[in-house]
Amino acid sequence: MKVLITGGAGFIGSHLAEAYLEQGDSVCIIDNLSTGSMENIEHLKKRPGFKYIIDTIMNESLMNKLVDAADVIFHLAAAVGVRLIVEKPVKTIETNIRGTELILKLASKARKTVMISSTSEVYGKHNGHRFSENDDLVLGPTFKARWSYAASKIVDESLALAYWKETRLPVIIIRLFNTVGPRQTGRYGMVIPRFIHQALTGEPITVYGDGKQTRTFTHVKDAIWAMMRLVERQEAVGEIFNIGGDGEISIETLAQLIKEVLNSPSEIVHIPYEQAYEHGFEDMMRRSPDITKIQNLIGYNPRFTLHDIITDVAEYQRHRVLLDYSSLSRHEALQI
């Protein structure tokens, strides 16, 4: 099978590419490296069947060729991370909506299966229960940049479903819930990589708000397994699926757990949302998925625990520190 992954040099895209290569498929990725990294795919460059292109998905002539050559398309290219979304709302909206529009148009012409990556953010300000794919979506006011990401993803979903209804383009929509693992960066606000970096370096572990907000975390390997199984099932076409973990934890408790697991001397400090992001920033107090639908279709059950996630991310970050130190040592040696 020939697989095309937009945003393939990103955290999730690189793991998806690796998984398909391991089972003998051909993989082509395209990424403009705005949030992705060549480091994520360095180990894949010499693998048979792997091709990478550094360009924007808005290059229509290029994308037309890539879509034509693919059997299935995973559209992962998007603006990601709370901090990036708050700081660059125009980029968020344009990247997410225009890019998806082009991918769907080209895929429709070629009649190719497309998986659209959406987010738990679309559920908005719901509280008090696990989010189901059939729930109403409740967002905050448009003048708060916090909601621009969710709004853009809702448009993506609606456009994909419109293509399915009007042209029978085989589309599958996934809503990812806090997917975490090696290669993820805390640069744009991802909480577990950020906490682990702080714990490993002895810096204060910074909890935004009161820390009572709860989240469910998913190991990237579980998410990738689910994505690969969904595109194999005709029953998934035209449907939306939550992909997430099965246990909730408050952010404050998460900080304490990471501190304990890593035996870190870091203190835990609280920072107001206004200081971390912007005045009037709104957060979701609970974000937990109902995964009944995907369990019933493909037998999805998360295999990896939160402890697994923490140890895997910590091992990766320790490895990165050693590589950086080794590189610095060689550089210093050359200066002598």
- Residue 63: what residue type? M
* Residue 143, domain extent: 2-180+218-245+288-304
265 in any annotated domain? no
Phi, psi of 257 (to 5 degrees): -65, -45
169 in any annotated domain? yes
The residues near 83 (Cβ < 8 Å, ≥ 6 apart) are 187, 188, 189, 277
Write down the pTM of the prediction. Answer: 0.90
Encode burial over 158-193: b for 16+ CB neighbours within 10 A, e otherwise: ebbbebbeeeebbbbbbbbbbbbbbbbbbebbbbbb
Which residues does the annotation mark as catalytic?
Answer: 149
The mean pLDDT value for 197-224 works out to 95
**Residue 51's CATH number:** 3.40.50.720
Phi, psi of 136 (to 5 degrees): -65, 155
* Token pair belonging to 49: 């069947």
225 in any annotated domain? yes
CB 271 within 8 A of CB 210: no
Q: How does residue 47 score in pLDDT terms, banded at 50, 70 and 90?
A: very high
252 in any annotated domain? no
Does the pLDDT of residue 330 top 70, yes or no? no
What is the rounded CA–CA span in Å between residue 185 and residue 172?
A: 27
pLDDT at 142: 83
The number of beta carbons lying within 10 Å of the beta carbon of residue 194 is: 21
Does the pLDDT of residue 248 top 60, yes or no? yes
CB 155 within 8 A of CB 49: no
210, with CB counted inside 10 A (0-12, 13-18, 19+), is middle
DSSP state of 267: P
227 in any annotated domain? yes
263 in any annotated domain? no
Pairing relationship of beta strands 72-75 and 113-119 according to DSSP bridges: parallel
pLDDT in tens, 75-119: 999 766 555 666 667 777 777 899 999 999 999 999 999 999 999
The mean pLDDT value for 34-59 works out to 94
CB 30 within 8 A of CB 57: yes
Q: Considering the chain, what is the average pLDDT of its residues?
A: 89
* Token pair belonging to 327: 């590189």
**Domain total in the chain:** 1
251 in any annotated domain? no
* Token pair belonging to 14: 């690189």
CB 236 within 8 A of CB 173: no
331 in any annotated domain? no
The number of beta carbons lying within 10 Å of the beta carbon of residue 7 is: 27
pLDDT in tens, 129-181: 889 999 999 898 888 777 888 888 999 999 999 999 999 999 999 999 999 99
